[in-house]
Structure 1
């Protein structure tokens, strides 16, 4: 069933910027954004009542985009709405979950192999952490600081060796950066089991918070 409150939490806006998206319309219950290369248009919102789905799908900004259209719903899926979306040509393409943790409960210091180095760099909308191994890129992470929380990007690991070490080190560095900013609450969006909508293999301190389900139509 749809959530009683349709208002979006602030991290939805930050999640768009963390993915290099341009926010072109922000309302209390919807966030519209375009991919950096213009390839897709996304609407983020909570699951609507079935009676409100037609209005969402008929949004002129969504229908006028010539590339791929995406709708990302927050919260527990509504089976009736999902069925109607599929009947109208939309496909479920992504299942994610927002993880939450207190910065003090997350490991903030991890040793890297002697051949590895970690770099930090501030960008316009977020800060970047990169790990190299033998001077070649091995993994990257991002973090965006808000007033009361920090939103982390799920690290991207580019090599086949030391995968968990690099991933843990990146998250630890980002958590430490949030703690230095005085932000006690951490969020991170990561892949979820499409059946349960949860991420089972979580590091200590993290818990499942909000489910995200994305439907796409070319």
Structure 2
């Protein structure tokens, strides 16, 4: 895969850890990652400016930054299709919501893991929301919380994000980053701004 070399931002390494993936670097500016069992091969990098070839075992692309229409057409012609658009959101922890009141029947749990911290909201002892946060040198990175049919999805999601904002603030980290779906990114809360689009492309099955 031939591209104009552009170093990947530090948060991309945290993003692989959040998803329990193993990373390697087949070329400058490109990150290859797989599940812990070696399956689900993904390639992450900025949109290329030059023609490219992708190894046949790669099944997902994560393309950062402004869309390159010429490269997108080349990918389409090669059997790739648009799957989703994500956004990297950025906020300063002190400017973000840090406390959300939950229902009396709900409780929030925290658990440190090897590469990230986990926060879970339970209602009547049933998990209804869960999120992960990885702390880097000068940032904390979170992904969209997973929701398990909570009675109040928005409050459960806000509670997870607020807990992480407070933790990032207490650790003195200047930035909290969130990889969000297009839908959630369109409902920006106070303090968040869009930093980078991320286009997800999948190889079309034969």
Per-residue deviation, 1:70: 1.1
2:73: which partner in 1?
83
1:19: which partner in 2?
19
1:143: which partner in 2?
133
1:89-139 CA distance string (max 9 Å, x none) = 111112101000000010101111000000000111100000000100010
CA RMSD of aligned residues (A): 1.9
Structure 1 residues 50 and 120: CA distance shift in structure 2, 3 A? same
- Give the TM-score taking structure 1 as reference length: 0.87
- Give the TM-score taking structure 2 as reference length: 0.92
2:185 is equivalent to residue 199 of structure 1: yes
Unmatched 5+ stretches in structure 2: none
Per-residue deviation, 1:28: 4.3
Per-residue deviation, 1:7: 1.3
Aligned counterparts of 2:8 and 2:24: Cα–Cα separation in 1: 16
2:170: which partner in 1?
180
2:4–2:49 CA contact under 8 A, matched in 1 = no
2:47: which partner in 1?
47
Q: How many residues align?
A: 202
Out of 107, 119, 128, the position equivalent to 1:117 is 107
Structure 1 residues 10 and 26: CA distance shift in structure 2, 3 A? farther
Per-residue deviation, 1:5: 6.4
1:94: which partner in 2?
84
